[in-house]
Structure 1
Amino acid sequence: MDPHAIAAVHEADLGAARMQMALSLGWHIIVACLGVGMPAITLIAEWRGHRTGDPHVRLLARRWAKAMGVLFAVGAVSGTILSFEMGLLWPGLMSTYGEVIGLPFALEGIAFFIEAIFLGVYLYAWDRLPPVAHMLSGIPIVVAGVASAFFVVTANAWMQQPTGFDTEGGRIVAVDPWAAMFNPATPPQTVHMILAAFMVAGFTMAGVYAVAMLRGRRERYHRLGFLIPFTVAAMVTPVQIGVGDWAAHFVAENQPAKLAAMEGVFATERGVPLHLGGVALDGELRYSLEIPNGLSLLAHWDPGAEITGLEEFPEADRPPVNVVHWAFQIMVGLGFALLALAVWLAAAWWRRRDLPRSPWFLRAAALSGVAAVVALEAGWVVTEVGRQPWIVYGVMRTSEAVNPAPGLVYGFAGVSAVYAVLTVATVYVLRRLAREKPVPVAPQERDVTDYGVV
C-alpha cells in the first residue's frame, strides 16, 4: 500500500479516536458532575426537612434521590465505556505509563463501589431507618463522589504535568505512583473540577424549577426546589472564579504554549494586552478588543511581564489556536454571567428576602444550567485541546499513543449510536420520574399534593 495512503488512513483513525474520546468524555462528565453535586444538595434538603418539619423539602429530597439513582446507573455505563476506551484507543499510553497512573484509577474504583453501596442503602431505607441514621447514610455518597472525581482528575492532571517516573534506555523506571498522582497540576485542576461539578448540579437542578415557575407554579414546593440548589451553585461561583485564576497562573508558568493559544498570542512580548474575542488569521489575532497590559497583569501580577508567543514553538507543537481561544472565551464569559446572576439574587434577597421580581431573572435562571454545562465543556476543551499535540505533555504525542489498527472510524460511529440511545433513554426515564405521583409521606405530611414537575 502506498505510504501516503497509509498515512492518510492513520490520520483518519487518529481523528476518529480523538472524536470518540471527546464524545465519551463530554457526555460522561455532565452525568459525573450531577453525580458529585446532587447528593450534597439532596442531603441539604433532607436535613432542612427534618429540622423544620417542612414536608415540601422532604418531598424534594425524595424525588431528587430517585433522579440520583438513575444518573448513577447511567454514569456507571458511560464510565465503563471510558475505561475500555483508554485501552482500546490509546494502547501506547496505557502500555507505557499504565504502572505510573494506575493508582488513581484503582482508588476511583474503590470510591465507586463505596458510593454504590451507600446509594443503595440511601434509596431503599427511607422508611426503614431512623431519620438521623438515614441522613448519615448519605454522607459516604457525597464523600465517595467527590473522591471519585478527585482520583480521576489526578490522572488527567498527570497528563498535563507528568511526574513520578524516570526514563532509562527508553524504559520507564523508578516509578512513584503517589508522586504521579500528586503532581503539580493536581491541586488547581482537581479543585476547579469539583467546584464545577457543584455549579453544574446546582444550576441545572434550579433551572428545572425556574421553568416551572415561569409557567405559573409559584407555590412553596417549587420555590424551595429552585432556591436550595441555586443557592449552593451561587455560593460556589465566586470561589470558582478565584480558583480559575489560580489555574490560569499555573498554565502561565508551566504550559506557555497553551496560554498563548488561549489568548491568541503569537509574538513574544512584554506588556501583552488581554484579548476579548478575535479570530486567529495568518499568524495574528484579529478583530479582538484589547485591554492594555491585561494578560501580563493577570498571568504574572506584573503589567510589564513577558508572555511567550506561539512563534517560540515549532509549528507541529502548537495547539489549534481558534478552538482553544474561543473555548476559553466562552468559559470565562459564562462564568461571569453566572456570577452576575448569583449577585442579582443576593441583592434581591438582602433587600426583601425574596426572589427578584423581574421575569428576566427566572428566564436567565432557566438557562443557567445550560450555561454551566457549556462552560464546563468549554473548560475541558481548553484543558485537553490546549495540551495538543501531546497526550502526555512534552513526553508522548497523541499520534504515538493511538491504536495502530485500522477501522477506528467504525468504532466512533458505533459509540455515537450508543450515546444517542443512552441520551434518549436517560431523558425519557427522568421525565417519567418528574411526572409520577409523590412518594408516600408520613401521616402529618399528607397534605402534600402532586405538583407534576420535579
Structure 2
Amino acid sequence: MDDFLAARSQMAMSLGFHIIFACIGMVMPFFMSISHFIYLKTGNLLYKGLTKAWSRGVAILFATGAVSGTMLSFELGLLWPTFMEHAGPIFGMPFSLEGTAFFIEAIALGFFLYGWDRFHPWFHWAAGLVVGISGVASGILVVAANAWMNSPAGFDYVNGQYLNIDPIAAMFNDAWFSQALHMTLAAFVATGFAVAGVHALMILKNKNVAFHNAAFRISALTACVAALLQPISGDISAKDVAERQPAKLAAMEAHFNTESRAPFLIGGIPDEENDTVHYGLKIPGLLSFLAHGDIDAPVTGLKDIPREDRPPVAITHYAFQLMIGLGMLLAALSVIYLYGLIHKKHWLSSRWLLRLFVIAIPMGYIALEAGWTVTEVGRQPWIIHGVMRTADAVTPMPGIVYSFYLFTAVFVSLSIIVSYLLYRQIKMVGKLYDPTDPEYKAKD
C-alpha cells in the first residue's frame, strides 16, 4: 500500500467510524427530550427512567464522538497539509462555528446529566433539548464544509492563487442545503431504526416490556417519518448533483453514453474498460426525469468525461445501489408501521412486525455509510471539485501506512469498548427501571 492510498484509507476509516458516533449524538438527545417531555406532562415514572437510561447512552456516545472528531481534525492537517493550507481560510468558518456548537452541547449535557432535582423541571428539559439542537447544528456545519468541497464557492481561483475570499459564501455554497437535509434525515433514519430494533428485540425477549414498548414507540415513529421524507431529500440531492457534478451522477448510475431519455439502472455490473454495463434492469427515461425533471433531457455519460477525471465507477455505483435499496426497504417498513398505527393497532404488538424492526437494526447505518461513500468516492479525483486533485493535496511525509494501522487499531478498540458499554447499559435498563418493582420510585 503506497502512502497516497494509505492516507485515503485512513480518512475513509476514520470518517466511517465517526459518522456513526456523530449521527447517534445528533438524534438520541431528541429521543431523550421527547421522553422527558412526556414524563413532565404525565408524571409517569417509566418515562423518567427511560429519559435517564437514554441520557447515559448519550453521555457515552458524546465522549466517543468527541474523541473521534478530535482525531479527525488532526488527520486533516497531518494527511492533507496542502489542502488545509489553501482551503482552511476559505471554509474554516463552519468548522469554527461547529466548535462553538460542540461547547454549547457539552455545557448543556452537563446541566442535563447533573441537573435532576437541582434545576426547575422545564429548564432541565430545555437543557436536554439544547443538546439535541447543538448536535444537529454541529452536523449541519460539518456537512457544509464537506459540501464546499463538492461545490467550491466564496473565492476566485486565478493563476493558482485563492483570491477575494468570502467565508459566508463558502459556507452557504450551492450544495450545503441539499447535503445537510439529506444527511440530517439519514441520521434520524439510521439511529431511529437501530434504537427501535434494539428495544423490539428486548420486547421479543419479554424483558421489561412496558419500558421497551415506550422506547420503541418513540424511536419507531421518528424513524418512520424520517424514512418517508428521505426520498424527497434524495431527489433534491440528485438534481443538485446532476447540475454541478455530472461525472458523479454518471458514476452513480454507471451511465456511459450521453443521451436523452436516459434510463435509470437497477443493479448491473460496470465494465469500465469497455465503457458498458453487464446485466441490470434499465427503466427508460427515468434517470432524465429524476436528474432534470424532464424525461427528454440529456444526461451526460462517462464517455464524454476524460478518463483521468472520472470517479471510480464500480464502487460509486454499488454504494449508490445499496443506499437506494436499503432506503426503499426502510420506507416500506415505515409504511407498514404507520398503517398499523392508524388502522391496525394490533399489528404494533405482533411478533412479525417486531422481528422486521430487529432485522432493520443495521440497515440504516449501512445505507448511511454507502451514501457517504457515494459522496466522497464520487468526487474523486478531486479533493476540491474542479480545483485541486486529491493526489496533489496529500502529505509528502513517508510512512503513512503505519499511521493508518495505528489509527485503525485505535478506532476498532474504541468501537469495541463503546459496544460493550452500550450492551451493558441495555442489560442494566430493566434492572434499574422496572416499573413493577415496588422499590422503583426509591431506586429513581
Q: TM-score, normalised by structure 1?
A: 0.93
1:50 and 1:114, CA in 2 relative to 1: closer, same or farther beyond 3 A? same
- Shift of residue 449 of structure 1? 11
What secondary structure sits across from 1:403 in the alignment? Answer: coil
1:382 and 2:382 are equivalent in the alignment: no
Q: Deviations over 1:180-204 (max 9, x none)?
A: 0000001100111111111122111
1:69 counterpart (59, 84, 92):
59
Partner residue of 2:247? 257
1:414 and 1:447, CA in 2 relative to 1: closer, same or farther beyond 3 A? closer
1:126 and 2:132 are equivalent in the alignment: no
2:428 counterpart (416, 430, 436):
436
Q: Is the 8 A contact 1:56 1:448 kept in 2?
A: no
1:169 and 1:447, CA in 2 relative to 1: closer, same or farther beyond 3 A? closer
Q: Is the 8 A contact 1:45 1:60 kept in 2?
A: yes
What secondary structure sits across from 1:126 in the alignment? Answer: coil
1-structure distance, mates of 2:80, 2:414: 24
1:254 and 1:35, CA in 2 relative to 1: closer, same or farther beyond 3 A? same
CA-based RMSD of the aligned residues comes to: 1.9
2-structure distance, mates of 1:445, 1:168: 74
1-structure distance, mates of 2:296, 2:432: 62
Q: Is the 8 A contact 2:211 2:434 kept in 1?
A: no
1:391 and 1:40, CA in 2 relative to 1: closer, same or farther beyond 3 A? same
1:33 and 2:23 are equivalent in the alignment: yes
Which amino acid in the other structure matches residue 206 of structure 1? A
Q: Is the 8 A contact 1:348 1:354 kept in 2?
A: yes
2-structure distance, mates of 1:68, 1:122: 11
Which amino acid in the other structure matches residue 378 of structure 1? A
- Shift of residue 214 of structure 1? 2.1
2-structure distance, mates of 1:136, 1:81: 30
Q: Is the 8 A contact 1:55 1:445 kept in 2?
A: no
What secondary structure sits across from 1:306 in the alignment? Answer: coil
Partner residue of 1:47? 37
2-structure distance, mates of 1:156, 1:355: 42
Partner residue of 2:319? 327
Runs of at least 5 residues in structure 1 that lack an aligned partner in the other structure: 1-10
Which amino acid in the other structure matches residue 377 of structure 2? V
Aligned residues: 439
Partner residue of 1:363? 355
1:209 and 1:58, CA in 2 relative to 1: closer, same or farther beyond 3 A? same
Partner residue of 2:270? 280
Partner residue of 1:232? 222
1:404 counterpart (391, 396, 401):
396
Partner residue of 2:337? 345
2-structure distance, mates of 1:339, 1:15: 36
Q: Is the 8 A contact 2:46 2:433 kept in 1?
A: no
1:445 and 1:44, CA in 2 relative to 1: closer, same or farther beyond 3 A? farther
2-structure distance, mates of 1:160, 1:393: 5
What secondary structure sits across from 2:262 in the alignment? Answer: coil
1:90 and 2:116 are equivalent in the alignment: no
- Shift of residue 441 of structure 1? 10
1:449 and 1:21, CA in 2 relative to 1: closer, same or farther beyond 3 A? farther
1-structure distance, mates of 2:442, 2:370: 40
Q: Is the 8 A contact 1:199 1:233 kept in 2?
A: yes
Partner residue of 1:143? 133
- Shift of residue 429 of structure 1? 1.5
- Shift of residue 295 of structure 1? 0.8
- Shift of residue 42 of structure 1? 0.7
Percentage identity across aligned positions?
46
1-structure distance, mates of 2:69, 2:130: 20
Runs of at least 5 residues in structure 2 that lack an aligned partner in the other structure: none
1:15 and 2:5 are equivalent in the alignment: yes
1:218 and 1:353, CA in 2 relative to 1: closer, same or farther beyond 3 A? farther
Q: Deviations over 1:205-244 (max 9, x none)?
A: 1111111122233722111111111111111111111011
Which amino acid in the other structure matches residue 175 of structure 1? I
Q: TM-score, normalised by structure 2?
A: 0.95
Partner residue of 1:426? 418
Q: Is the 8 A contact 1:261 1:325 kept in 2?
A: yes
1-structure distance, mates of 2:185, 2:358: 20
1:243 and 2:243 are equivalent in the alignment: no
1:21 and 1:449, CA in 2 relative to 1: closer, same or farther beyond 3 A? farther
Partner residue of 2:104? 114
1:307 and 2:299 are equivalent in the alignment: yes
1:222 and 2:212 are equivalent in the alignment: yes
Q: Is the 8 A contact 1:62 1:439 kept in 2?
A: no
Q: Is the 8 A contact 2:147 2:173 kept in 1?
A: yes
